[in-house]
């Protein structure tokens, strides 16, 4: 999953934040000016971890649906009000029964709208409160520091979280704290639990237990951090990989820092500039082994891109070719924020150019995965983001697509027929409802076009099915605990395209 864009609400002095978007790939996070002025580093990390939970747990889509539902109910009330207003403003005392019935119809719409709005807000409050508890717990899991998020809540309790914007009411349930100043009766519709309950829940306290002192809080914070960073390295078992989907742990931050430190300084600086990021993308596509193919790609690139960009590509290519194969896909991900700074036309030109470089010869597994991930990451730039519709809720609807995908994974990096068949069956038997389907004993033949079509269909499956698919894919690849670079890239590319982010899970010893 790419890092979400971050926006500052500079006119809001209170402490608050929100996450919004239709999917993890289009998510954004907003923080108020008060967060930057009043929170320390640990507390701000806790708040951002809270918002990341809303992204990874799918709360953003639920929140947006609640906004649409309440607006639809409000529209019913407003329609009834409009009818009554025009009926009362007519000034004609000789209305017939038909006009009287129109007036009654308007009152009925108003009553339905008010009743629906009350019920809708109660539902919104009940759902939002439970998701806030989950997000608080996830923030502790992500940061391994319960005092960060609890300290932010304590400051929020003292300084307030109410927003000045007139549009805060419609999106109040999306914020870190209560965005509205509520009276006693309005508290029944509060979208957030009381701050005291949230703090006690984070610290594991029961009602009536005294709050720990600041000294004990600090000791608990250091202990939590030590526990978070002291884990042992686990083997690349499929169960471990699937359990990490959508999670962030301190070890993953350490792995990310190690990865960044392994990059040459020129590459670390280049990922933040749009033109240099484009050069990195082109350099990643250039063939590393076939000199003739590489020469054809460079010749074609000179025809469609400025000479300075081509020279930059060749300069960075020499450094990229020295990198470990496992770093190439994360390097592509690092360029996405800079690439998205361009216009939709720029992104389309980039994708067309990449397509031309790839089709200059036979498409390799790396090029297929590269194009798959790049297209997915830049898709929000091509058209306005829209809600991702779930079309498949049962495994029967996508069974053939799952079989084809597992067939591709089993055949990548394997040479012995019995090993391929064993890896394929290991993945198939992880699919739900396996007893109700007749699964082939060996993988079926497939090509890149077939795999791409199946992945596009699987993107429309429900989140629960996507999790089962990633689980089956992981068991196919990791059944022998030895993973080829092509298998690792394809597995990660599939997970990224299905919006099921997987933290780094392979050591150099695991990749053969």
Same domain, 62 and 120: yes
HEC string of 371-391?
HHHHHHHHHHHHCCCCCCCCC
Same domain, 152 and 177: yes
Same domain, 370 and 392: no
| Measured distance CA(41)–CA(32) in Å, rounded | 15
Render 202-270 in DSSP notation, one character per residue. Answer: HHTPPTTPPPPPHHHHHHHHHHHHHHHH-PPPPP--HHHHHHTTT---HHHHHHHHHHHHHS-HHHHHH
Q: Residue 191 carries which DSSP code?
A: S
Q: What is the pLDDT of residue 222?
A: 38
Instruction: Give Cα separations from 414 to 423, 442, 486 (angstroms).
Output: 9, 13, 10
Q: What is the pLDDT of residue 89?
A: 58
Burial 356-368 (b: 16+ CB within 10 A, else e): ebbebeeebbbbb
| Measured distance CA(331)–CA(315) in Å, rounded | 16
Q: Quickly count helices (H) and strands (E) in the chain.
A: 21, 3
Radius of gyration of the CA atoms of the chain, in A:
27
User: Considering 203, 238, 272, which residue would you say is the last residue of a domain?
Assistant: 203
Same domain, 54 and 130: yes
User: Considering 328, 352, 382, which residue would you say is the last residue of a domain?
Assistant: 382
247 within domain boundaries: no
251 within domain boundaries: no
111: Cβ contacts below 8 Å, ≥ 6 apart: 80
CA nearest to 383, candidates 348, 350, 336: 348
Instruction: Give Cα separations from 27 to 30, 348, 377, 498 (angstroms).
Output: 10, 21, 12, 15
Q: What is the pLDDT of residue 87?
A: 64
Q: What is the pLDDT along the chain (512 residues), one digit of tens a residue?
A: 566 888 999 889 899 999 888 777 778 899 999 999 899 988 999 999 998 888 877 777 777 777 777 777 777 877 877 877 776 655 555 555 555 777 777 788 888 877 877 776 677 677 677 788 888 888 888 888 888 898 999 998 888 888 888 777 667 778 888 877 665 455 566 777 888 888 888 877 665 555 554 434 443 443 333 333 333 334 455 555 555 555 555 666 666 677 777 788 888 888 889 999 999 999 999 988 888 888 999 998 999 999 999 999 999 998 898 888 778 888 888 898 899 888 888 888 898 999 999 887 778 888 999 999 999 888 877 766 666 678 898 888 999 999 999 999 988 866 678 888 888 888 888 888 766 667 777 888 889 999 999 999 999 998 888 988 988 888 888 877 677 888 888 988 998 888 876 665 544 434 44
Same domain, 18 and 57: yes
171 within domain boundaries: yes
Same domain, 441 and 370: no
504 within domain boundaries: no
460 within domain boundaries: yes
Same domain, 122 and 267: no
315 within domain boundaries: yes
308 within domain boundaries: yes
Same domain, 177 and 63: yes
Same domain, 370 and 422: no
Domain count, the chain: 3
Looking at the DSSP bridge assignments, the partners of residue 17 are: 31
HEC string of 120-154?
HHHHHHHHHHHHHHHHHHHHHHHHCCHHHHHHHHH
Q: What is the pLDDT of residue 195?
A: 84
Q: What is the pLDDT of residue 227?
A: 32
Q: Show the domain range for 297.
A: 263-382
Same domain, 358 and 414: no
227 within domain boundaries: no
Q: What is the pLDDT of residue 209?
A: 56
CA nearest to 439, candidates 481, 492, 402: 402
pTM to 2 decimals? 0.60
Same domain, 441 and 318: no
| Measured distance CA(371)–CA(328) in Å, rounded | 13
Phi, psi of 367 (to 5 degrees): -65, -35
Looking at the DSSP bridge assignments, the partners of residue 28 are: 5, 20
Residues involved in catalysis: 51
In the block, residue with structure tokens 């009926």:
87
Q: What is the pLDDT of residue 29?
A: 92
- The SS3 assignment for 7 reads strand
Which token pair is 351? 């994708």
Q: What is the pLDDT of residue 48?
A: 92
Looking at the DSSP bridge assignments, the partners of residue 31 are: 8, 17
Same domain, 92 and 163: yes
């Amino acid at each position: 999953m790419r890092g979400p864009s971050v926006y500052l609400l500079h006119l809001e002095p209170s402490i608050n934040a929100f996450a919004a978007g239709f999917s993890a790939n289009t998510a954004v996070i907003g923080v108020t000016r008060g967060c930057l002025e009043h929170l320390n580093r640990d507390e701000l990390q806790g708040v951002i971890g809270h918002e990341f939970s809303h992204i990874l747990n799918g709360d953003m889509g639920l929140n947006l649906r609640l906004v649409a539902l309440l607006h639809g109910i409000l529209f019913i009330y407003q329609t009834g009000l409009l009818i009554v207003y025009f009926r009362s403003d007519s000034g004609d005392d000789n209305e017939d029964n038909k006009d009287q019935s129109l007036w009654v119809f308007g009152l009925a719409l108003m009553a339905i709208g008010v009743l629906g709005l009350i019920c809708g807000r109660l539902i919104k409050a009940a759902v939002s409160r439970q998701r806030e508890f989950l997000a608080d717990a996830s923030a502790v899991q992500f940061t391994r520091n319960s005092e960060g998020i609890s300290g932010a809540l304590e400051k929020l309790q003292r300084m307030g979280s109410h927003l000045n914007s007139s549009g805060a009411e419609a999106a109040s349930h999306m914020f870190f704290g209560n965005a509205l100043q509520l009276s006693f009766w309005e508290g029944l519709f509060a979208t957030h639990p009381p701050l005291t309950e949230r703090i006690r829940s984070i610290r594991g306290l029961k009602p009536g237990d005294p709050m720990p002192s600041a000294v004990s809080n600090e000791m608990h914070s250091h202990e939590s951090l030590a526990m978070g960073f002291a884990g042992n390295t686990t083997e690349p078992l499929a169960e471990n990989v699937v359990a990490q989907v959508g999670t962030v742990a301190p070890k993953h931050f350490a792995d990310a820092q190690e990865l960044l430190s392994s990059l040459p300084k020129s590459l670390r600086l280049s990922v933040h500039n749009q033109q240099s990021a484009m050069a990195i993308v082109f350099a990643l596509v250039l063939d590393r082994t076939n000199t003739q193919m590489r020469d054809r790609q460079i010749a074609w690139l000179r025809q469609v891109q400025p000479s300075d960009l081509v020279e930059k590509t060749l300069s960075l290519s020499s450094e990229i070719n020295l990198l470990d194969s496992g770093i190439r896909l994360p390097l592509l991900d690092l360029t996405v924020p800079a690439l998205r700074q361009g216009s939709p036309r720029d992104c389309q030109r980039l994708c067309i150019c990449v397509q031309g470089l790839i089709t200059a010869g036979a498409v390799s597994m790396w090029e297929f995965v590269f194009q798959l991930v790049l297209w997915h990451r830049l898709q929000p730039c091509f058209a306005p983001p829209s809600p991702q519709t779930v079309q498949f809720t049962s495994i029967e609807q996508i069974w053939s697509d799952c079989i084809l995908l597992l067939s591709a994974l089993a055949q990548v990096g394997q040479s012995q027929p019995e090993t391929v068949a064993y890896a394929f069956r290991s993945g198939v038997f992880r699919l739900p409802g396996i007893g109700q389907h007749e699964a082939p004993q060996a993988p079926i033949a497939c090509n890149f076009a077939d795999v791409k079509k199946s992945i596009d269909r699987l993107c429309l499956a429900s989140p629960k099915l996507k999790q089962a698919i990633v689980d089956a894919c992981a068991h196919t690849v990791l059944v022998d605990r030895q993973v080829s670079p092509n298998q690792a890239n394809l597995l990660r590319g599939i997970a990224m395209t299905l919006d099921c982010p997987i933290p780094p899970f392979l050591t150099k010893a695991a990749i053969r």
